[in-house]
């Protein structure tokens, strides 16, 4: 494929930004976005404002290319046929099934690319499709809605349950709820509908309910879920036995019988206990993990290590929060906030495809240990707008017409030219406890310059005291 000299210059200077834009062209084309809207919207309809126009404005905010919805609108005002009020009205009414469908359809299009590149992460348990499940409650928004202006309490716009597939490192599903006070467990039936045979769900104790565990087993799927202290009917069978040691502590195993109070049915499971070397931040000294995996496929130590990888999805949430604008404080309406959150999940998936190409080009462990998503998205925010001005839309259209094989090869070829030190990850050490501070009741301000001068004086004094004197 022959590109212009200007395009190749951006490839040379900012390959990450070029790859992001190419991926967005493929899964975020106007036609694709509008088709998803037409298939899934029930109340909203298209009059003057295309749904794709709204989505493209919001993706500018999510990638921090524009600081706000209004700023994104202002930058594109020449091409706008509606007012900013119409933008907000449509944004505030985006139905949650439309937002969730965008994430699902995006993952369906990107998964074959990763497989084509053979850029997926190494499977943690061969023969199983590992999926991490966790919930994310959106932060409180500004009190812009009239009824909220008289309230001091935080205004919660909703939450979502997110499923992250381990081998692809793609968020494949999100289940949304507009009620910020609703429990995560109220959405578990919808999670069950996404499961297939040989799926392995790894989740925390919030999701340990009889209905969920029995539902997973009925679908021919499997679970590795931390036991909730009071949310389950169960009894021990036989003795507990020690099975080994992992990095975090000693591992024990025992067969247990679970009972579904709704049907009276029972289920044999394994209860893996990890006696921790150090207590958790909640003060727990033991972790109890329930699984229906056969011991021939995963012994107790393997199950304990699988559960530890649950932090993968929490790291994903951290990346989305720190590198993307996924919780826009000015969007008070739940539909608008959840729509922005879903676009951030799509952006995360786009970056995941780029990481897959880099795994092929530079090695899986290198990308995992050394490449920072923060610096990747920082480059996108800095370069994207100028790149879009310099390179006409027609030059990007080619990526939508490429086959998966051609596009995968294009991404890998560009990934080979990425200079990794530019995106070097910096892992901080453990936090030190803060020192006890003097009261500021009497002295309310300090001169930093004087404090530094005192430090220099102390250093000079220490040098004089430690320097040996010589006889005259």
User: Residue 470 and residue 10: Cα distance in Å, rounded?
Assistant: 64
Is residue 391 helix, strand or coil?
coil
Spell out the domain ranges in the chain.
Answer: 9-195+310-416, 205-307
Is residue 386 helix, strand or coil?
helix
DSSP-assigned letters across all residues of 57-125 = HHHHHHTTSSSSHHHHHHHTGGG--S-HHHHHHHHHT--HHHHHHHHHHHHHHHHHHHHHHT-PPPPSS
User: Residue 269 and residue 214: Cα distance in Å, rounded?
Assistant: 11
Mean pLDDT for the chain overall? 88
The pLDDT tens digits for 315-364 are 777 777 767 766 777 778 889 889 988 988 988 898 899 999 999 999 99
pTM: 0.87
User: Residue 226 and residue 255: Cα distance in Å, rounded?
Assistant: 15
Average pLDDT over residues 3-32: 88
DSSP-assigned letters across all residues of 200-265 = EEEE-GGG--HHHHHHHHHTT-EEEEEPPSSS-EEEEEEEEEEEEEETTEEEEEEEEEEE-TTT--
The pLDDT tens digits for 231-268 are 888 999 988 999 999 999 999 999 999 999 888 899 99
Band (pLDDT 50/70/90 cuts) for residue 190 is: very high
Look at the block and give the residue holding tokens 């070097």: 424
* Signed CA dihedral, 59, 379, 12, 120: sign only: negative
Structure token pair of residue 234: 């169960």
């Amino acid at each position: 494929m022959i590109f212009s000299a200007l395009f190749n210059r951006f490839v040379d200077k900012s390959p990450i930004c070029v790859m992001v834009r190419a991926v967005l062209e493929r899964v975020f084309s106007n036609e694709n976005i509008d088709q998803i809207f037409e298939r899934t919207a029930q109340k909203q309809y298209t009059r003057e404002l295309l749904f794709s126009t709204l989505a493209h404005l919001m993706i500018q905010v999510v990638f921090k290319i524009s600081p706000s919805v209004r700023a994104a609108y202002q930058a594109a005002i020449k091409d706008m046929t509606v007012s900013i009020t119409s933008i907000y009205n449509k944004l505030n009414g985006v139905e949650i099934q439309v937002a969730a469908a965008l994430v699902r359809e995006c993952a369906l299009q990107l998964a074959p690319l990763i497989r084509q590149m053979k850029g997926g992460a190494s499977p943690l348990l061969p023969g199983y499709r590992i999926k991490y499940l966790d919930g994310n409650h959106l932060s409180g928004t500004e009190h812009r809605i009239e009824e909220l202006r008289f309230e001091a309490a935080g205004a919660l716009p909703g939450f979502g349950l997110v499923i992250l597939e381990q081998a692809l490192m793609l968020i494949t599903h999100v289940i949304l709820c507009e009620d910020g006070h609703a429990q995560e467990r109220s959405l578990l039936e919808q999670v069950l509908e996404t499961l297939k045979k040989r799926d392995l769900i790894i989740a925390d104790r919030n999701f340990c309910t009889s209905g969920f565990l029995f539902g997973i087993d009925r679908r021919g799927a499997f679970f590795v879920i931390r036991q909730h202290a009071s949310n389950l009917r169960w009894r021990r069978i036989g003795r507990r036995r020690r099975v080994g040691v992992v990095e975090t502590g000693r591992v024990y195993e025992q067969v247990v019988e679970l009972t579904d109070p709704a049907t009276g049915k029972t289920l044999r499971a394994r209860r893996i206990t990890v006696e921790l070397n150090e207590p958790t931040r909640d003060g727990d000294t033991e972790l109890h993990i329930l699984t229906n995996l056969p011991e021939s496929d995963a012994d107790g130590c393997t199950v304990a290590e699988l559960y530890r990888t649950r932090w993968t999805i929490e790291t994903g949430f951290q990346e989305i929060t720190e590198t993307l604008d996924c919780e826009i404080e000015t969007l008070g309406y739940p539909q608008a906030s959840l729509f922005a959150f879903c676009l951030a999940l799509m952006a995360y998936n786009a970056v995941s495809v780029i990481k897959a190409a880099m795994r092929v080009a530079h090695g899986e462990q290198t990308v995992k240990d050394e490449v920072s998503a923060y610096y990747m998205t920082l480059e996108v925010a800095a370069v994207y707008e100028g790149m879009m001005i310099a390179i006409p839309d027609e030059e990007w259209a080619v990526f939508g017409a490429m086959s998966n094989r051609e596009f995968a090869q294009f991404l890998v070829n560009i990934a080979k030219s990425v200079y990794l030190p530019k995106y070097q990850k910096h892992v901080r050490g453990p936090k030190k406890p803060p020192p006890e501070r003097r009261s500021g009741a009497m002295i309310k301000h300090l001169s930093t310059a004087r404090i530094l001068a005192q430090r220099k004086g102390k250093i000079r004094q220490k040098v004089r005291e430690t320097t040996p004197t010589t006889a005259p």
